[in-house]
Structures are given as structure tokens and as C-alpha cells.
Chain A
């Protein structure tokens, strides 16, 4: 199953939900991405949620809020979170939060 809306493409395979994010992530766009991902987590109950940042062109600290929020929701549904394809630029922001500590980087 695959669904693409509002800067996020959702791909469900076995028990893995892959969310491929694209474009700019700021406070404005993060809301739409968050709603789509959360709906999919609640509907499909994956065991693993993967956030893919490969096509993200810009991100501010709203992206960190997006990761932290999804980490908490996934955890409450018994799923783990992994983030992948993070550019050095994005890593610079994520590391400010110490999100690496979550073991998802």
C-alpha cells in the first residue's frame, strides 16, 4: 500500500510503515505530515515506523518536534522508530536536540 499527500509518502510493507518526507519541514508543513503519519500509525499498527528524510530540502526545529512526537506516539502503540537518509545539514539540527540519544539515528 502506498499513499502520497502533503509532503509525505506512506508505504506499508509487512509490519513496517515507511514515511518518506519531502520538501520543506517547518511549523506550517509539519502539521499536515504529522496528521497523515499519526492516522497511519493508528490504522495500521506497524511494529516499526521509519521516517525518511532523503527528499527534505529544508528543515527547522519543527522537524525535531515531528520526530519526538512520532517517537512518543509509536512507542505508545508498541512500535519503534528509525530515522534514515539524514543529510549532514539536517543532522546539525537534530544533534542540537540530542535525539541521537533515542537510538533512532
Chain B
């Protein structure tokens, strides 16, 4: 814990109207690192995907709590854990394949592909009937350093 700069925890009921609350809250927390709009939108989009998975897949036809812990470590390292206690994923590798979905015609099956392409690192741990935790990581480079690079 010694390298931690800041941390926030939120939990909310798995209602789809809370998707915008979740991504707005996490993006407000990350804003203290002075990220670019692009970096912030990457995080918002990945959080939106992970929360949607909890609501649409983890809890499916029931309601349960979604838990998010967001941490900032020294050097602009952001770690966001999104957890549900829903049905879990039988085969994580298959679930992460682009275009794979159990959700029917209206789902693109690209949730994990978006998280993978917009974040620096993603880890999924899941147990059937116990729930799923998605850990997203991104490194936000300080703006002064960015300017030096350019």
C-alpha cells in the first residue's frame, strides 16, 4: 500500500441507468492526474464495458451490487477493479474472444476487445456462481513529461 496516492470505492445496484454514473465517477477521480481527453475517454469506455458486463451478464435477470475500487499509484499508474457477485464466466478465454457473445443479436461481443485495446493491461478472474472481477490498468503520463517527449 506504500506506493498508493489515492483510492476511491463505490458500489451500486446493477441497474443499467447506473452505467453513466459509474463511468462519470471514475473519470472524475482519474481527472486529478490531468490526463488528456483521449486518455480519460479510454478509461470511461473501458469502465462502461466492464460495468455493462456485470449488469447484463453477471446478474442477467436479477439485481445485485457492483463494486468498483479505483486506485492511483505513484507514476500515474491507475488500477480499476470492477467486481460482481453474479453468475461468473465458465470459460474466460472464450468470453474474451472478439465477437463472442451469449447476449443475442443486439450485442456486439466486443466488450473485452474494447477494454483490451483502450487500456494498458486487463485481467479477468471469475468463478461460476461466485462472480467476476475485471482489473483494468492504465499509465497516465504527466502532461509536463508529455510535452518534453513532443
Contacts and interface: CB of A to CB of B under 8 A. Distances in A.
B6 interface: no
A34 interface: yes
Interface stretch (B43-51, B68-76, B80-88, B133-141): B43-51
Label chain B's interface by main secondary structure: helix
Label chain A's interface by main secondary structure: helix
Contacts of A68: 105-106, 108
Nearest to B108: A64
Contacts, number: 62
A56 B109 CA distance: 21
Contact of A28 (B19, B110, B113, B114): B19
Nearest to B38: A89
A65 B49 CA distance: 13
Contact of A27 (B16, B105, B114): B16
Interface of B: 16-17, 19-20, 23, 38, 41, 44-45, 48-49, 52, 55-56, 98-99, 105-108, 110-111, 113-114, 117
Interface of A: 24, 26-28, 30-31, 34, 58-62, 64-66, 68-69, 72, 89, 93, 96-97
